[in-house]
């Protein structure tokens, strides 16, 4: 990842000068238009502290928010106590709600009562636009013990970025408020907050309408969303891929289909997908890692994830590392590879305090490695080389990567970070182990002033944006002599115009094979052609080795890797599992996953229009499928799901009319006949044009019941004036079977009846007559390694013996 530069000292901007604000002296507010709305949620605190939190723009900000019945109106307000800074006040995130160039009316009630405080005190409503940009919007001078009315208008400048917009309340800033807390840090009460103005236009649809991953191709891994910096992680027979959520800022113009360029500063989520066959991937959605509502709200961004697991204090835990922008890295802890997630830290793991990392410009791209002996390490760093180095060294050996030991708890470090002297290094260090050797791969830089000016790399060293690698006998020792060559050229060599730039990789082992992950804007290219906007997609290629342990250079392609096993359809599985798709999106809903458990997030396939489809690669129906069941939520009448085999335009095998109650989840099924063997399976969606048709939660196929072939005959006969019932069963199977022959007059078991042979029994009635009845034959054997029992019945007529 390449971080956005950040300004230095925090600053306040006077409202009158820059925001066009009218303060408490404002008399006649502009009339509120019909389209205007209150953008603040729970502004009267009647729902407790919901949607509110303490301003955390700086590490020193802290306070306690408590509901109170001392309200200006209604039954509740918020009490602010234990303030550490003047800016430590109640905050609400208005990101995505306010717009640059728009005017808003702000109103609130505020009161302070500390007898030791001044008789009057000024309070500000302030907006934090991210970084060091703070703007005072409206102020009031309150009288001690009385409710003051914060009331006025403010206009957000047209040039102001509003991807981050957080409103909070504070007293005037001073550098040392603790010197006189009664003047600067008094407790106060807030109530009835509103920000009224034009509601933002609906967000641009992020749904990718083109076929971004072509049927038959296995790269990119998914075609319905983006994902960068993919990190492969194997657990319990499943491969998980953790990615920077490039989709977060994707906002294509409804007319042109072109999105603004990617903005890394907006990304604070990690995307997770997983597979057991390397082609059909399940979308697990996004982890809200950073930001005010994140697992670790003391961080702002989440880029370039790395994943590890370890048993800590007898409990298996999962550790997700990520870059908090360019300045630091952090870790959150999961109960499973898909969560739930918590933060064991209250500050970043890697930052300027980390010993040995002081000279590293970008303390990001953290990649963990747990060795066979349980010792754990973290690799991180990147960015410009130190200016104190000679120009040639800055270019060829910038010494900007680091390795450090992790503590036993995986959320702390031990000792000092060691230099990784990777040639032409830029970022993205990652380590795996094979046959006792440690392999460290990394992304190379593009030269320029940050690296001593444009130069020619030493012979064998990487060119710009390539993946180099090193081989060492020690996970902490990486001198330049361990450099082994270029693992992967720049991806533009394989995918053409518009797909270049830096890369970020990982390597992992799965079921005896090694795999290499990387990214490229290939999906972005299929949407917009050769002019891409930097939105990247995950790819995988197989990794192979020479006899001496060196890596054969990887060739990138759309074909990707082979499917390692056929897909098993006979279970409940998530509908957001597919190999290919067109025109759909996914979203989280309440509740747990039917496939992955109650603690796992549950996603559904949504934004389904007429003509959209999803598909699974190489589905093994074995001897045959009996039915297909879908859990769906109809949104309009007249929708249907069609099942096709082999191609999106193949004949329809079966149809599920989506005719349940509108807006209600329901399970709908269709019978299947003749669906057997291995096929690519296409679910195509039809219904009224121009409408979202339905949402899909899960699929489940049911296997047709396998039956053993047997021929049964039964007759009632007479012998010596007595009636008997004769039963014969012939084994038509190709293997021996066991049989049980039964009538009302007894039963007989016959073991190991050979193919083509018969079991026979005459059941004596001891009477001169027998009424009409039936005989039952129970046959037990094996079909394709599965034990099967087949039951057959046959009727016989009545018989009367003697005169």
For the annotated catalytic residues, the residue numbers are 229, 427
Is 801 within 8 Å of 718 (Cβ atoms)? yes
- DSSP-derived 3-state class of residue 166: strand
Instruction: Point out which residues pair with 125 in neighbouring strands.
Output: 138, 169
Nearest in space to 431 (alpha carbons), one of 399, 396, 472, 462: 472
User: What's the helix, strand, coil split of the chain in %, to 5?
Assistant: 5, 45, 50
Nearest in space to 84 (alpha carbons), one of 194, 192, 202, 185: 185
Gap between the Cα atoms of 372 and 613, Å rounded: 44
Is 749 within 8 Å of 709 (Cβ atoms)? no
Q: Give Cβ neighbours of residue 505 (< 8 Å, ≥ 6 apart).
A: 428, 430, 441, 443, 467, 487, 488, 516, 517, 518
Token couple for 565: 């096993």
Gap between the Cα atoms of 656 and 638, Å rounded: 11
Instruction: Detail the DSSP E strand segments found in 636-731.
Output: 639-645, 652-658, 666-671, 678-686, 694-703, 710-719, 722-731
Gap between the Cα atoms of 754 and 749, Å rounded: 14
Give the DSSP letter of residue 22: B
Is 672 within 8 Å of 625 (Cβ atoms)? yes
Gap between the Cα atoms of 289 and 296, Å rounded: 6
Instruction: Point out which residues pair with 234 in neighbouring strands.
Output: 239
Q: How many residues does the chain have?
A: 803
Dihedral sign, Cα of residue 257, residue 261, residue 267, residue 269: positive
* Angle at CA of residue 786, ends 785 and 792, nearest 5°: 125
Q: At 614, which helix (H) or strand (E)?
A: strand 613-620
Q: Give Cβ neighbours of residue 654 (< 8 Å, ≥ 6 apart).
A: 628, 642, 643, 670, 671, 672, 675
Token couple for 532: 């891409």
Instruction: Point out which residues pair with 387 in neighbouring strands.
Output: none
Is 433 within 8 Å of 445 (Cβ atoms)? no
Instruction: Point out which residues pair with 317 in neighbouring strands.
Output: 310
Give the DSSP letter of residue 567: B
Measured from the Cβ of residue 682, the count of other Cβ atoms closer than 10 Å reads 24
Pairing of strands 133-143, 11-13: parallel
């Amino acid at each position: 990842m390449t971080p956005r530069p950040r300004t230095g000292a925090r600053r306040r901007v006077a409202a009158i000068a820059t925001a066009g604000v009218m303060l408490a002296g404002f008399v006649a507010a502009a009339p509120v238009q019909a389209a205007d709305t209150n953008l603040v949620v729970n502004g009267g605190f009647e729902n407790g502290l919901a949607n509110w939190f303490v301003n955390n723009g700086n590490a020193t900000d802290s306070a306690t928010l408590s509901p109170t019945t001392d309200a200006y109106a209604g039954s509740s307000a918020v009490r602010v106590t234990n303030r550490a800074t003047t800016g430590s006040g109640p905050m609400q995130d208005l990101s995505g709600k306010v717009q640059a160039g728009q005017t808003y009316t702000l109103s609130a009630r505020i009161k302070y009562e500390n007898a030791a405080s001044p008789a009057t005190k000024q309070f500000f409503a302030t907006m934090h636009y991210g970084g060091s940009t703070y703007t005072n919007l409206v102020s009031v001078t309150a009288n001690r013990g009385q409710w003051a009315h914060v009331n006025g208008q403010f206009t957000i400048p047209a040039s102001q970025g509003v991807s981050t917009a957080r409103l909070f309340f504070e007293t005037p800033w001073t550098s040392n408020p603790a010197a006189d807390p009664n003047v600067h840090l008094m407790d106060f009460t807030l109530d009835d907050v509103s920000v009224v103005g034009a509601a933002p236009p609906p967000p641009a649809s992020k749904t990718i309408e083109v076929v971004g991953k072509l049927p038959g191709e296995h790269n990119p891994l998914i075609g319905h969303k983006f994902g960068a910096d993919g990190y492969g992680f194997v657990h319990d027979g499943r491969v998980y891929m953790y990615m920077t959520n490039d989709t977060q800022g994707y906002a294509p113009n409804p007319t042109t289909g072109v999105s603004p360029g990617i903005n890394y500063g907006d990304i604070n989520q990690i995307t997770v997908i997983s597979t057991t066959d390397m082609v059909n991937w399940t979308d697990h959605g996004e982890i809200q890692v950073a930001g005010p509502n994140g697992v670790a709200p003391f961080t702002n961004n989440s880029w370039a994830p790395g994943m590890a697991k370890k048993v800590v204090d007898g409990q298996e835990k999962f550790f997700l590392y990520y870059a908090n922008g360019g300045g630091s890295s952090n870790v959150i802890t999961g109960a499973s590879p898909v969560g739930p997630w918590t933060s064991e830290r209250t500050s970043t793991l890697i930052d300027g305090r980390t010993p040995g990392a002081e000279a590293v410009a970008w303390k990001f791209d953290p990649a963990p490695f747990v060795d066979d002996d349980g010792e754990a390490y973290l690799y991180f760093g990147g960015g410009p080389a130190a200016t104190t180095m000679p120009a040639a060294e800055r270019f060829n050996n910038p010494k900007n990567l680091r390795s450090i030991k992790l503590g036993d708890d995986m959320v702390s470090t031990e000792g000092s970070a060691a230099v990784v002297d990777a040639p032409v290094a830029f970022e993205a260090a990652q380590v795996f182990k094979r046959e006792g050797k440690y392999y460290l791969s990394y992304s190379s830089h593009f030269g320029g002033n940050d690296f001593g000016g444009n130069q020619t790399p030493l012979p064998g060293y990487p060119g710009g944006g390539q993946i180099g690698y090193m081989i060492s006998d020690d996970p902490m020792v990486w001198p330049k002599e361990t450099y082994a060559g270029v693992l992967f050229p720049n991806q533009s060599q394989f995918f053409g115009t518009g797909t270049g730039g830096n890369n970020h990789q990982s390597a992992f082992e799965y079921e005896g094979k090694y795999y290499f992950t990387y990214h490229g804007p290939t999906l972005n290219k299929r949407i917009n052609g050769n002019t891409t906007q930097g939105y990247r997609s995950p790819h995988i290629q197989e990794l192979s080795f020479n006899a001496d342990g060196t890596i054969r250079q990887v060739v990138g392609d759309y074909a990707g890797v082979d499917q390692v096993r056929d897909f098993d359809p006979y279970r409940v599985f998530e509908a957001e599992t597919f190999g290919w798709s067109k025109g759909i999106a996914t979203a989280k809903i309440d509740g747990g996953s039917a496939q992955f458990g109650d603690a796992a997030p549950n996603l559904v396939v949504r934004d389904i229009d007429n003509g959209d489809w999803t598909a699974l690669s190489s589905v093994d129906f074995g001897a045959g499928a009996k039915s297909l069941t879908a859990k769906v939520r109809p949104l309009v009448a007249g929708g249907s799901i069609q099942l096709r085999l082999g191609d999106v335009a193949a004949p329809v095998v079966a149809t599920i009319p989506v005719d349940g109650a509108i807006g209600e989840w329901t399970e709908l099924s269709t019978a299947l006949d003749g669906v057997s063997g291995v096929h690519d399976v296409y679910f195509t969606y039809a219904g009224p044009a121009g409408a979202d048709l339905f949402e899909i939660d899960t699929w489940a196929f049911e296997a047709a019941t396998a039956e053993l072939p047997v021929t049964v005959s039964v007759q009632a006969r007479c012998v010596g004036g007595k009636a008997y019932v004769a039963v014969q069963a012939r084994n038509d199977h190709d293997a021996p079977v066991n049989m049980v022959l039964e009538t009302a007059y007894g039963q007989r078991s016959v073991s190991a009846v050979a193919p083509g042979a018969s079991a026979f029994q005459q059941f004596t009635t001891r009477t001169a007559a027998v009424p009409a009845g039936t005989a039952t034959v129970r046959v037990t054997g094996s079909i394709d390694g599965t034990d099967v029992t087949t039951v057959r019945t046959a009727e016989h007529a009545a018989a009367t013996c003697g005169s």
